[in-house]
Structures are given as C-alpha cells and as structure tokens.
Structure 1
Amino acid sequence: MKNILYLVGLIAIIVASPFIAYYGLGENDVLGFSHIKLGLDLNGGVSIVYEAQVKEPLPEEMSSAVQMIRARLDNQNYTEAEVAIEGTNRIRVNIPGVDDPLKAIEDIGATALLTFEDEEGNIVLEGKNIKKASPQVADTQFGQEAIVSLEFDGEGKDIFADVTKNNIGKAIIIKLDGEIISAPVVNEEIRGGTCMISGTFTPDSAKELAELISAGALPFALEAVSSTSVGAKLGMDAFNSSVEAGCYGFIIIIIFMLIVYRINGLAGNLALTLYISLLIMVLSWTNSTLTLPGIAGIILSIGMAVDANVIIFTRIKEELNQNTALKFAINDGFNKAVSGIVDGNVTTLITSGVLYLLGTGLIKSFALTLGTGIILSMFTALVITKYLLKLFYAVGIQSPVLYGAKKAVK
C-alpha cells in the first residue's frame, strides 16, 4: 500500500508539473517563477553594432562603455535589452520589442562625450570625471534660466580647481560631442567641485542633457556600423511554428516509447514530461531570454534525454533476455548504461560551456538551453526513471515481458 501511494503521488506531481510551469509563466507567478523573456528574433526589435571611434580602445574602456550603455538603456526603459562586446572595438546592442528602431539607434548611440577645453583647444577635463548631472533653474542677469549642474568626482574636483586657477580671466570651453554648448569666463578658482552649464536650454532639453551625462559619458565616440530590424509578427510566427513542431515531436515520442518499450516507455515518458517542465521552470527562474536557437537547444536536449532512456531500456532488455531476474535486471541495466550516458552528455556539456563562454547573443542562448537541458536530462533519466521502474516493480507489475523481455523469465 505504501509503494502504491508513493507511485500515485509521484505520477501526480509529474502530471501536474507542466501546469505549474505554464501558470508560472503567466500573469500570476506560481512558486516564485517569473516570465521568460523573448529574444530579439521572437519578439521583434533591433540589433545594432557600434564601433569605437578610436584605434585601439583598452579593454577597461570597452567594459566601461558597456556599463554606461546599459545604464542608458535602463534610463530609456529598454529593460530587456542585451549589450555585449564583439571583438576588440565593437559593441552589439539587442533591443527586443522596439517600435521605432531608428529612434533606438539615435538614443542609445548618442555619445554624450563631454569635454572641457582651454582657449588653445587642449582638453583639460573629461565627462568621465562627472559624478552627477542634474537640471536646475538658476537666476541669471537675463532672468531665470534652465541650466545643467555638474558635480565632479574626487579626481575631477582637483583637476577642475587647478584648471580654474590657471585660467582666471580666460574662457573654459564646454563641448558636447565636439559642439560648443557653453564658454564661461573664469573669474576665480573654483574648489567646490561643481559647475553649471548654461546656454539656450529649455527645461526639457536641460533634463535630457543631464540624463545623458548621468547615464554615462562614454570614454570614446561610437558609430553605428550596422543595424538589423526584425518585425514582431515575423518573430512570433517563427516562435509559434517552433513550439507547434516541438509539441508534435513530443507526442510522437510518447507514442513510440509506449509501443516499443511498454512499462519502460511509460516511465521514460513520465520522466521526460518532468524534464521539460523542470527545464521551463529553470529558464524562468533564471530570467533567461528565449530565442529560436534557444528553442533548438531545448529540442536537441529532449532528443538526448530520450536517447539516454533508450540506452537504459536496451540494457535492461539485454539483461532480461539473459534470464536475469527482473529486479536485478533493472539495477544492472542502469549500472551498465551510466558510463555511456555520462560520457556522451559530458562531452556535449563541455561543448555548450565553451559556446556560452566564447559566443555572443543567439549562440549563448543555444548553449544555455542545451547545457541546462543536458544536466536535467541526466537527472531525470538516471534518477527519476530508475525510481519509477522500481516503484512499478514494487506495486506488483513484475512481468518481464512488460519490461522488454522476449518471454517471461523462469
């Protein structure tokens, strides 16, 4: 009776797992699962490649540029965007769900390269030394005027003090992306670490400039060298077709396993159902971005999960046909299949790890789903399937023919 309860309970959990995974992706989260994000190729959007306009940017500068672009994306509410370095001087930005790709290119590519120059054109201070920028309204000789207030970091504060000390009576020219926006004359040394940019600003333009500077003044100018737009309808059509193909394939696998492997096939189908549910849950838990290559990785890992079960069932069948008792044939079949399954999966896991570490964008998505799927498939095949078969045996389903034997073992 105890074993029957265990078996019924485990089957109930496995059957319920797809519904838990499904509703975990809906508006009301279940068990803490959050939404799986759709990638650029499924949700539509734009992919932009920017190139640094310097000969040999330092790795530190490229990393800094990536962080600043990410901050700028967040400020522009492009929260699903991805930023990655390509090569030594290029940065790829993928922004799903963008309605106006040209505006996204303009917004994200705006460099906000702020410089302070003396009258001879020498750069004496750069925007990277700005700690904070905020729009304000100040009283001037012309009345109230919109300005941008700048606060420097520790290094910038000292540099600005020296610059103003050495340029009293001279103009400090403030440029944004090479264009002069202000040229105030220095009346005295300024040691407070703050200054104001004035000009023909409106409250909105002052706010926009402050946000650009706060999001990060890039260490170099960027130029968009390529951009690719994907329509949302095209992406969703591809997504729906992929999911439909995966469902048809899963149904065919279930029917095949039941016909060919009987009780073994039933256990394998239950384990495979749990595997797919766990995979979706893990991807949702980790806030992964699902792409078409990612779906391909899932389908490939399903095939490998089925392959692991087939190896196990074949070993069990071989043991039964050698007149091994069913109880021992199940254990021996798993023990003899473990090394082959682990070896085959570990090599693929290493490959997916290399792809994830060295790849970018879509390649990472494929490697992530494939690697995650391999780990989960080994768990369900070697643990869940084995436990199910032992429970089937324990509740009285003990005919070797149902487990693949040509005839009952005497």
Structure 2
Amino acid sequence: MLQIDRWKRILIVGLALLGLALAAPNLFYQRVEQHNDAVATIEKTGVETPELIAQRDGWPSWLPSGLVNLGLDLRGGAHLLGEVRVAEVYKSRMDSLWPEIRNALAAERQTIGSIRRLPAEDGVLKLEIGNADQMQRAVEIVRGFSDPITTLTGAGQQSLSILADGSTITVQLSDAEKEATDQRTVLQSLEIIRRRVDEVGTREPTIMQQGKDRILIQVPGIGSAEELKELIGTTAKLTFHSVIGVGSDPNARAQVGQIIVPDLEQEGLFYTLEESPVVTGDELVDAMPATDQNGQPAVDFRFNPSGARKFGDYTAANVGQPFAIVLDNEVVSAPNIRQAIRGGSGQISGAMDYDEANRLAVLLRAGALPAQMDFLEERTIGPELGQDSIDAGRLSAIVATVAVVAYMIASYGLFGVFASVSVIINVILILAVMSVLGATMTLPGIAGIVLTVGTAVDANVIIFERIREELRAGKKVVRAIGDGFSEAMSAIIDANVTTFIAAAVMFFMGSGPVKGFAVTMTIGLVTSVFTAIFLTRLMIVWWIERRKPQELVL
C-alpha cells in the first residue's frame, strides 16, 4: 500500500524542485526587480541605455524572474482617501447644454423672441425668452434635450427637470439623473486614476470605491502622499476656447457665458474667453513628450476624428483670429490662427522642463478627471517602516518554524524530521505560487504564512497519530504506515475544506489586509496538503526501501 509509481515520484520531486526554482528570485529581490523594470522599460520605449542594459543583465534572462509583490505596509508608499466633487459635473453639463439650447431656440427667434441666459447657481441653467406667450413652445424645444433614464432606479424618468415661470425657464438635472451621474463620475474617476498610476509604473496599487463618492488609493513604492496627490489631484483638463479680449484686470466683469483666465507664463495678463470650449481634452487620443522648433520641451497631441473635424472647422472659419489653449484654467498659449488646421494634431510648449513635459503627457493620455477631488485622509509610509515590518515578519516566521520543527522532532523523532522538511518546502511553495501569480504580500499575509506553518503540521500529526494506533493494534510497520495514511485522508480533507471555506469568505467579503491574509491562507492550504500527503509519504517510502525496518517506535 506504500508503493508509489516512478512517474508519481518524478512528479512529486519535480514539483518541489520547480517550487524551489520559482521562489529563488525572492532571495535576490532588488537585483531581480531592477532586471524586470529594465526589461519592461526597454520593451516599452525601445531605447537601451548603458544603465538599463546593466540592470537587465544583472539577472540571467533564462532564470525565473517572478517576484512576490510587496504591499504598502511592507514596501512603504502613499495612502489617500479622496472625495469626488460630483456637483462640478452638474455645472459642466449645464454649461455644455446652453449653446445647444440657445441655437435651437434661436432657430425660432421670430416666434419666441430674444434669448438670454440669466445668472444662476452652479448646476442650474436659467434663461429668459422675449415672448412669454410662446413659453409652451420654448419648453417643448428645451424638453427635446431631455433623455429617458436607463438605470433601474430611474426607469420612466427624464434626465432634465424643466420649470417655466413667466418668461423664465429653469433647467437642471433631475434627481434620478444626478444619482446616475454621480455613479458614472466616480467610476470614471476610478478608471482615470488607475490609468494614471499605471502609467508611472507603480506595482500593485489598490484603487477602490468607498461609499458613494469616495475613492481609496494605496500605491506601494511611491515617494510620498504629496507626490501621489500631484499625480492624481491634477485634472489635466485641456480645452480650446475662442478669445474675446485680453486685459490686465483679473476682477473685470465677464458676461454670462464668458470666463476670465490668467496666462500661465506672463503674470498680470488675463484672457476673456468663451466659456464653452471649441474642443476638449476628452477628444484627445494621444499625447507624447517632444521638443518644439527651438529644441525646448513640449508635448505633441492628437485628436480623434470628431475632435479633429471640430478643430479643423473652427480654425478654417476663424483664420486670423486668436484662440486659447487652456490647461487647468490657465492659458498655455494663445496663437493666431494662420490657416485651417486639418490634421487633428498640435503641440503645447512653454515654461516646462522634460520631467514636466513627460508628466503632462501622462496626464493627458490618461484623460481629465471628470471632477476635482478633495483629499480627506493622507498617509506616507516610509520604506524604513516597511523594512521594519519585513524584518519583524521574517523573524516571526523563523521563530514559528523553528518552534514547530523542534516540537515535531521531539514528538515523532525521524518522522518529525520528515514533517519538518515538508513544512519548510511548503513555505517555499507558497512563495513560488505567489511569485507566479504576481500576488501581493502584506503584513497580514505574513501572518497567514506563519499560521500556515502551524496548521501545515496538522495533517502530519493526524497521520502519525493514526500510524501509532495501527502499530498499537499489532500491525507490521509497512501495513501500519499504509493504513495510517489511508485512514487519515478523510480527516485531512475535511479539515482543509472547512478552512478553505472560511478563507474564501474572507477573500470575497473582506478587503485590503483581510484579503491578503485570505490569499496566503488559501495557497498554504493547497501546498500543505500536497507536502503532507505526497511529499512526506515519499520520504517515508524512501526510508523504508533503504532501511527495511522490522520495528518502528513512533
């Protein structure tokens, strides 16, 4: 009953050796990490600098290079909790709706009379028509811009709330549309933040929604929370506007539908612009760092077909007129249109260095945040603290392993040695699987490994105690060992299945540290069953074949 086929022996030993090979890169963490970063940079840029080549060659390419990613609490990094200003989107929607409603009403000016936008709070569009007797027709035209809401909670409702009073029409988003807009805004912000963080090459960031309008951002390996805020908090909102006038008074009174924006480079210079942009950065498809005609840092950008068409039509109709390139409410440039620009591409240049040009390109490629974010909580975890956590986790794992090994050897002698070897290989296999999966190791994850070290011997204890019972019943050594493994199998499976269910619940229902613990716990369950049932059994079979014992004291 203890016979193990040759192919099974080869498979068991092969899996153990493969685990050793896959886990080995973690012993040379910094060197392998530099190798992986250099390979990724070379593949992305196609440029091989001497420094990148040296880092790439620092680890043989034919060896495994997978690593266990270190979480925020181990590597250090930044933690932010941001709140999205969803109300800003309401204002943006009304501002963009005004030109369309104005043009639609103007088409029936002879009937409706004059159309004028009145001052109103943010998120509200208030307009006045000249002929109050035609209010019903005007409301009908405005209602044409309202769409049915497709969400389950808003089914049967319209996107706009329209109120007529005398000669005044008040338009704003309906409550159902506001709720749907809030959800879209947060989800869009999540995706844009994720793209921005991924662009700068950080590892295993945690970006998730918390509550209705808050976003949790944890990025290991980044320098500080302030650096992360600069990357995420910048809207990088690029727009192109018609220029109405230029002046030096920032407090000049702008008419409804106009804005006053400062110049980025020249202090004291302010532009009066049409509030509704000709083209927005949402229609950008690419942005890359470059140099201008003077060899200075710049950013080349390219529009999608619709943006290129609008940009081309506008420049063709306004040759000789200035237009403003506005980035985050500052005029980057305001050149005169010399000819129609039909190619759909352009360049931003000015007071920036190469790092700023690269960052601006990253932000533009990722897209503009739909709304500003207020950071309610920010923390920076230094790499020294992360290293302290690693050292403490490593020490606890070593102490736990030594204690378990000592207990097993003291209790079961040579069989305790076999079990101890299995426990050590079990830990190695956990690291190997996490390296292959690219899983993230957190401090709770280390706790999961330490717990796995303790529970990994449970299967061996069950098997050894069962063997003792068989020996006390007078069975021969080989028969007792074989029956011990067979009879203990059901108890081992039951114990691990129940633990697996608990780990699965923690993974799917928990978040952050709880998930890290559940991941290592789940992987440890699988590897501990393999090492206890197959690897320990193989070592015992080798011992029996070599020594052929007639008696066994266990």
Query: TM range, normalised to the smaller chain?
Result: 0.7 to 0.9
Match of 2:234 among 110, 114, 118: 110
Q: How far apart in 2 are the matches of 1:146 and 1:22?
A: 43
Q: How far apart in 2 are the matches of 1:145 and 1:345?
A: 64
1:408 aligns with none
1:383 aligns with 534
Show the 5 A alignment for 1:181-330: 181-183=332-334, 190-197=341-348, 200-202=350-352, 204=354, 206=357, 208-330=359-481
Q: How far apart in 2 are the matches of 1:385 and 1:40?
A: 36
Amino acid corresponding to residue 73 of structure 1 in structure 2: V
Q: What per-residue deviation string (whole Å, max 9, x for no partner) do you get for residues 17-44 of structure 1?
A: 8798456521457941444343221232
Matched, 1:25 2:176: no
Contiguous gaps of at least 5 residues in structure 2: 32-58, 88-181, 243-272
Contact preservation (8 Å) 2:77, 2:225: yes
SS in 1 for 2:474: coil
Match of 1:57 among 164, 178, 183: 183
2:137 aligns with none
Q: Which moved more, 1:368-377 or 1:321-330?
A: 321-330
Q: How far apart in 1 are the matches of 2:388 and 2:526?
A: 30
Query: Higher RCO, 1 or 2 (CA under 8 Å, sep at least 6)?
Result: 1
SS in 2 for 1:47: strand
Q: What per-residue deviation string (whole Å, max 9, x for no partner) do you get for residues 317-340 of structure 1?
A: 222222233323223222222222
2:495 aligns with 344
Q: How far apart in 2 are the matches of 1:197 and 1:235?
A: 40
Match of 1:70 among 197, 200, 214: 197
Matched, 1:43 2:194: no
Normalised to the residue count of structure 2, the TM-score between the two structures is 0.61
Matched, 1:131 2:133: no
Contact preservation (8 Å) 2:23, 2:428: yes
Match of 1:121 among 255, 275, 282: 275
- Give the 3 Å change call, closer, same or farther, for CA 133–260 of structure 1 in structure 2: same
Q: How far apart in 2 are the matches of 1:322 and 1:144?
A: 90
Deviation at 1:384, TM superposition (A): 0.9
Deviation at 1:379, TM superposition (A): 0.7
Contact preservation (8 Å) 2:208, 2:217: no
Amino acid corresponding to residue 114 of structure 1 in structure 2: L
Deviation at 1:112, TM superposition (A): 1.1
Q: Which moved more, 1:250-259 or 1:103-112?
A: 103-112
2:162 aligns with none
Q: How far apart in 1 are the matches of 2:416 and 2:300?
A: 70
Q: How far apart in 2 are the matches of 1:124 and 1:358?
A: 47
1:85 aligns with 208
Q: What per-residue deviation string (whole Å, max 9, x for no partner) do you get for residues 59-109 of structure 1?
A: 7524522432223432xxxx3351321335443333334444423322343
Q: How far apart in 2 are the matches of 1:67 and 1:100?
A: 17
Amino acid corresponding to residue 25 of structure 1 in structure 2: L
- Give the 3 Å change call, closer, same or farther, for CA 134–17 of structure 1 in structure 2: closer
Amino acid corresponding to residue 69 of structure 1 in structure 2: R
Q: How far apart in 2 are the matches of 1:272 and 1:302?
A: 6
Deviation at 1:282, TM superposition (A): 2.5
Larger radius of gyration: 2
Amino acid corresponding to residue 50 of structure 1 in structure 2: G
2:105 aligns with none
Amino acid corresponding to residue 131 of structure 1 in structure 2: V
Deviation at 1:381, TM superposition (A): 1.0
2:171 aligns with none
Q: What per-residue deviation string (whole Å, max 9, x for no partner) do you get for residues 112-155 of structure 1?
A: 1223456542245432321122455556xxx9987543201234
SS in 2 for 1:323: coil
Match of 1:96 among 213, 220, 225: 220
- Give the 3 Å change call, closer, same or farther, for CA 128–341 of structure 1 in structure 2: farther
Contact preservation (8 Å) 1:101, 1:229: yes
- Give the 3 Å change call, closer, same or farther, for CA 355–178 of structure 1 in structure 2: farther
SS in 1 for 2:285: strand
- Give the 3 Å change call, closer, same or farther, for CA 46–263 of structure 1 in structure 2: same
1:407 aligns with none
Q: What per-residue deviation string (whole Å, max 9, x for no partner) do you get for residues 135-176 of structure 1?
A: 55556xxx9987543201234334434555677787655432
Contiguous gaps of at least 5 residues in structure 1: 405-410
Deviation at 1:262, TM superposition (A): 2.5
Q: What per-residue deviation string (whole Å, max 9, x for no partner) do you get for residues 346-382 of structure 1?
A: 2322333343345444333222211111111111111
SS in 2 for 1:94: strand
Q: How far apart in 2 are the matches of 1:162 and 1:104?
A: 39
Contact preservation (8 Å) 1:42, 1:236: yes
Q: How far apart in 1 are the matches of 2:449 and 2:213?
A: 33
Deviation at 1:299, TM superposition (A): 0.8
Q: Which moved more, 1:331-340 or 1:378-387?
A: 331-340
Amino acid corresponding to residue 71 of structure 1 in structure 2: D
- Give the 3 Å change call, closer, same or farther, for CA 22–333 of structure 1 in structure 2: same
Contact preservation (8 Å) 1:128, 1:219: no
Q: How far apart in 2 are the matches of 1:80 and 1:259?
A: 43
SS in 2 for 1:57: helix
Normalised to the residue count of structure 1, the TM-score between the two structures is 0.79
SS in 2 for 1:217: coil
- Matched pairs, number: 391
User: RMSD over aligned Cα, in angstroms?
Assistant: 3.7
- Give the 3 Å change call, closer, same or farther, for CA 338–207 of structure 1 in structure 2: closer
